Amino acid sequence: MKIFAILFFSLLPNIVFAACTQGGTTVVYINGIFTTSSEAATDLGELQSKYIEKTGDSKTKFINGYNPSHFEGLGDLVQSVFQTFFSSASDFDRDTILMQIYPEVKTRKLLLLGHSQGSFYSNGFYDYLLNHGEPKRSVGVYNVASPASYTAGGGLYLTAKQDTVITWVASMTKIVGGLPPLGPNTDLPLTIKQALETYPGHSFAGYYLQNSGSRIASDLQFALKRLTAELPLDNDGCFTPPENSLGRKTSTALFVVGDFYSDAIASAAVQDYKYAVATVGGVRVAIGAVGSVFSSVASAFVPAPRTTNLPRSHDIVGALYGSSVTEENLREFGLLEDQGGAVALAAQETPVQPGVESDMRDGVVLGAETESPATPSFVTPPQALGLPPMYSVGGGGSAGFGGGGSSGAAPAPAQDDPAPPPVTTESATTTATTTETATEVATSTATTTSTTLYEQLDASTLGETNDVQGTQANPTQKLGTGLSGLAGSVAYRLHGNDLASTTAGISAGFGDVLLYSCFSGSYIACGNPKASSDFHPQILSQSGDDAYILVDMTGSAYSFDPDQYYYLMWITAGDMALYGSAGDVYANGSAQWFDGAFAPDTNISDVAFRICNTAVCVLP
């Protein structure tokens, strides 16, 4: 009954008008994938605030062209496959947004600002408007963190090289042969807080506006000044809205139904996969109830195929946007059928009217399989290390921990050096002591054979780097390429003076260690972390100026791909003892520096590390 009620009311007439003036300017912001509704509102509010603050122009109108999420993001994933790899997508959301903003747009001069996935819509709006009679010089596009390969109308864009999502998109399109996004054109170092977000370097308000608000404001002002109002006052509105056809209305109803069921999934806090399947099955039942009506209008949001489904194409997008839903899941849900399902993987070619310029590009899709993180073959609880004396490290110097060494003593980084072949080490019998990670097995002992996958025992040739992630001011160690095996742990040995002897009372321990991979044959296209420390690393033992730390990452153990480049990165909550002197007095009076600023310290002079395939890594 509720479904029919939704359908009925969605089919009611919806007529609105808006006069269009030559004066004034309007900015329409379109949010991206997985931006929550409240974040979309925050984005627009902070955009307007920053724009007025920097330009003094309070007369420009700001509109939110809200780009909703469907099926708790599943629909967005599918659409993103279209958009990223096929350059075109369903027109459903585009038309919905256009109809919603139609009564609000009251100026001829219109600037479309897309963020992330919203860039596809800003580009799409531009084509739609030009196809429907708007003069080219009245409409502009400005995209931020754009995964698209162009900005419609030759508009400006802003993408930071720290944007992990766009970097990942670039890597993936390179592999599958799709059109890559526009290259990064700014360098905006991440704060610690930003680096710890789900998609570091990608948020609109939380990253781009915060780090580059002045530039965005001036780019907007520049783009707005380029626009001219060529058509006179029009009492029928500023553009021709999409037809609110029966098919479109029914599509609306179907999304409402689908989203309703998706809500049920979310609210049930799905733990049980079978329940999820059953619930999503409800979506299909509901859609099926519409019967032939659905079939007749399905093309409104299930576009006619220009190409067949690509194997693993969902996995690509899942990897892009961090979804844990697999292609198999979707197929079982019935959301991944070739044709006629709730949402099918195919792309629609946007018709372009003769005589109208378009910046749309056709994508060539070759298809490729993405990598999947390997399941750990076994998980061994971390054991305390019966650590031998500190390995003699040469070089000394003050290169620090990747944060900008001050002397030239350190040799060239190992970025272009192939990784050494795996080394099999002897069995290690260990006993737990007092670390946080070891408490669960405090009384047990285990004999574990661990294989070394990579090691850098001589600090004088430490593969640390200041480029790539160095812009994030986080210490990194380059690992090179040619690695293989399952990375389960990393042991670090640090040498320096005045190190802390404990992290007791500092809940964040020594932050986190992340393993990154890069795709472009170098360190310039690096994506999301592949593996990360299961617990905040703590000092396991200490002897004089040497401290030993074990990083257990079996929870996200990762299989190295010999073709990729890798690096390790530490992210800490600040200038903690690992990087600074234990005797440092912090301005906040605490044992921890909370302002997010990383301050490398020359107290750490040498670092050695080893990556192993188990939870236990022992340095010689």
Nearer to another protein, 4 or 273 (CB): 4
What 8-state DSSP symbol labels residue 260? H
Q: Which residues have CB under 8 Å from 585's CB, separation 6+?
A: none
Residue of the chain from 58, 292, 324, 443 that contacts another protein (CB under 8 A): 58
473 DSSP 8-state letter: T
- Quickly count: other Cβ atoms within 10 Å of residue 170's Cβ: 23
Binding residues for another protein, how many (CB under 8 A)? 37
List residues bridging with 493 in a β-sheet. 548, 608
Q: Which is nearer to another protein, 212 or 476 (CB)?
A: 212
Six token digits for residue 43? 């984005």
* 138 binding another protein? (CB under 8 A): no
Task: Pick one of 41, 175, 379, 446: the residue that binds another protein (CB under 8 A).
Answer: 41
Rg value, the chain, Cα: 27
353 contributes a contact to another protein by CB under 8 A:
no
Choice from 10, 34, 62, 573 touching another protein (CB under 8 A): 62
Tokens at 45, concatenated:
């509010």
Query: What DSSP assignment string belongs to 337-374?
Result: -SSSSSS-S---PPP--TT-------------PPP-PP
Q: Cα separation of 605 and 620, whole Å?
A: 19
Examine residue 210 and tell whether it contacts another protein (CB under 8 A). yes
Out of 20, 33, 44, 343, which residue is the one contacting another protein (CB under 8 A)? 44
Q: According to the binding rule CB under 8 A, does residue 40 interact with another protein?
A: yes
66 lines the binding site for another protein (CB under 8 A):
yes
Please name the residues in contact with 319: beta carbons below 8 A apart, sequence gap of 6 or more: 168, 172, 370, 371, 527
Q: Are 599 and 476 in contact (CB under 8 A)?
A: no
Which CB atom, from 44 or from 77, has the smaller least distance to another protein?
Answer: 44
* Residue 36 interacting with another protein (CB under 8 A): yes
Minimal distance, residue 290 CB to another protein, in Å: 16
Q: Considering only the stretches 30-38, 75-83, 112-120, 311-319, report the one whose residues sit in contact with another protein under the rule CB under 8 A.
A: 30-38
Site membership for another protein, residue 37 (CB under 8 A): yes
| Selected range binding another protein among 54-62, 144-152, 400-408, 557-565, rule: CB under 8 A | 54-62
Rounded to 5°, the CA angle 456-458-459 comes to: 95
Q: Which of 13, 38, 232, 587 binds another protein (CB under 8 A)?
A: 38
If one asks whether residue 214 binds another protein (CB under 8 A), the answer comes out as no
Q: Return phi, psi of residue 43, to 5°.
A: -55, -50
Given the rule CB under 8 A, which of 51-59, 470-478, 485-493, 566-574 is the region that contacts another protein?
51-59
CB of 11 to another protein, least distance (A): 13
Q: At its nearest, how many Å lie between another protein and the CB of residue 109?
A: 14
Our finding on whether 594 is near another protein (CB under 8 A) is: no
Smallest gap from Cβ 100 to another protein, in A, equals 4
Regarding 55 and contact with another protein (CB under 8 A), the answer is no
Are β-strands 546-552 and 539-543 bridged in parallel, bridged antiparallel, or unpaired?
A: antiparallel
Asked if 2 is part of the footprint of another protein (rule: CB under 8 A), the reply reads: yes
């670390």: which residue's tokens? 435
List, edge to edge, every strand of the sheet that includes 512-518: 464-465, 476-480, 565-571, 512-518, 526-532
Task: Name residues contacting another protein, limited to 80-109 (CB under 8 A).
Answer: 97, 100-101, 104
Residue 396: what are its φ and ψ, rounded to 5°? 50, -115
Question: How many angstroms separate the Cα of 100 from the Cα of each of 32, 64, 131, 233, 592?
Answer: 17, 10, 19, 21, 49
Residue 11 in contact with another protein, rule: CB under 8 A: no
Rounded least distance, CB 258 to another protein, Å: 14
Please, what is the minimum distance in Å from the beta carbon of residue 64 to another protein? 5
Residues within the interface to another protein (CB under 8 A): 1-2, 4-5, 8-9, 36-38, 40-41, 44-46, 48-50, 52-53, 58-66, 68, 97, 100-101, 104, 205, 209-210, 213
